[in-house]
Amino acid sequence: MYKPNSTWTWAFVGVSVVQAAIALGFEAFCFAEFQTNLRNGAGTENESKTIPTFLALYIFGFLYQLLLVYDALRLKNTIQIIGLCIYNVGLLVYAAVQMDQIQEAVTNLERENKIGPGVWSAERPFLIAIPCIIGLGTVLLTVIAWKLYDEFAWTIYKHISADLRMKRRYLTFQIYIALLKFDFFFFLGFTIQFVVVVVDTTNVEFYLTIAAIPVNIIILILAGLFTRRENRLGMLSIITLYFAGLAYFLFKLVRMYQAGPRRETYDPVRRPLTTFAVITVILLILTIVNACMCMANFGKGLKPHIAGRKVESEEEKLANGNMTEMPNYNYGGYAGNGVGGGMGSRMTID
């Protein structure tokens, strides 16, 4: 089991945990305050379903971030570390959208006397504090990520060797794997909001949308597996499914703003759904591009470096009792010992 082993890895974990703990505490209070003040008959209103969905999804967002933090540090994935800083900015934007949406929902429910008085005044300070906390956390995580980039660069250099082309292929692989993990959250976030608030449970679309969740998880798992095993046919199938997903989200975006009888059903969640849909579309485009780049790198020597391997620092190697040099796959021998490969390659500074 991985354990942070340096000042900066502990700092990244610490900031993430403290930020999540405070934000989750504030979100839990807002969730409880809203639910306990609902009155009889409020369950039929869209607002009564929308706000708990937002809050629950936001709570899941912080828990998922902690999981990604652990995963990024364990794998020493610098791209995922940077991605987590951008993810934090996304949480910041969503916090601003959430505050506006909750105020609007509480106002509408108060107008119809379906929620107790004073709910917004009680929640407002906490909803203002959450973006401030996330903003500070984003700044701190960005500074620490810069330090971690330098720290992990040397470890990855020793893992991949001095071959600049191989390092670029490994970087492309890291970007692709990180994108898959962020794809999952934004797809799930969009689907949950769509199912809970928009889709009627008697509609066929409801069951199709529910079925899409496990299918999406399987696709993302297979995407990573096919990349590691350099399976071209599997990757072509996955890329085809990416295009189908891209068409789906573009269709939903158009439908949300298209004039017609269904337009009003999107009103309670139009802004957050649009936010998630746009981010997911951008991520899918980036994922398709990186999937093609990864497939172009098949058969060029990267597979031994990524097939089930974990990048270890010297401290971890010492703790595991493994201080052997990693094979230099580019020259048929072991780096630095001259066995099988003659003289080692000249070191280039990236």
Task: State pLDDT tens for residues 156-168.
Answer: 666 555 567 888 8
User: Is residue 53 pLDDT above 50, yes or no?
Assistant: yes
What gap in Å lies between CA 147 and CA 11, rounded to an integer? 10
pLDDT at 83 over 80: yes
Task: Give the least confident one: 77-81, 225-229, 332-336.
Answer: 332-336
pLDDT at 209 over 70: yes
Q: What does the pLDDT average to over 267-287?
A: 85
315 vs 226, more confident = 226
Q: Is the pLDDT of residue 315 over 80?
A: no
- The count of other CB atoms within 10 Å of the CB of residue 2 is 13
Partners of 327 in beta bridges: 334
d(CA 227, CA 322): 27
- CA–CA gap between residue 151 and residue 172 (Å, rounded): 19
Q: Say what the pTM is.
A: 0.76
Tokens for 341, please give them.
């490969």
Residue 299 makes CB contacts below 8 A (sequence gap 6+) with 230
Other CB atoms within a 10 A radius of the CB of residue 108 amount to 15
CA proximity to 47, closest of 111, 95, 101: 101
pLDDT of residue 143 exceeding 90, the answer is yes
Please write the tens of the pLDDT for every residue from 24-52. 899 889 888 888 888 776 655 666 777 77
Residues 6 or more apart whose CB falls under 8 angstroms from that of 46 comprise 197, 267, 268
**pLDDT exceeds cutoff 60 at 349:** no
- Alpha helical stretches, state H, the chain: 7-36, 46-75, 78-111, 119-160, 164-193, 204-229, 232-257, 270-296, 303-306, 314-319
Kindly indicate the confidence band of residue 342, based on its pLDDT and cuts at 50, 70 and 90: very low
**Cα→Cα distances 175→45, 95, 164, 183, 236, Å:** 42, 26, 17, 12, 18
Average pLDDT of the residues in 53-62:
82
Mean pLDDT (the chain, rounded): 80
Virtual torsion, Cα 303, 305, 310, 311, nearest 10 deg: -150
Residue listed under structure tokens 């789906």: 248
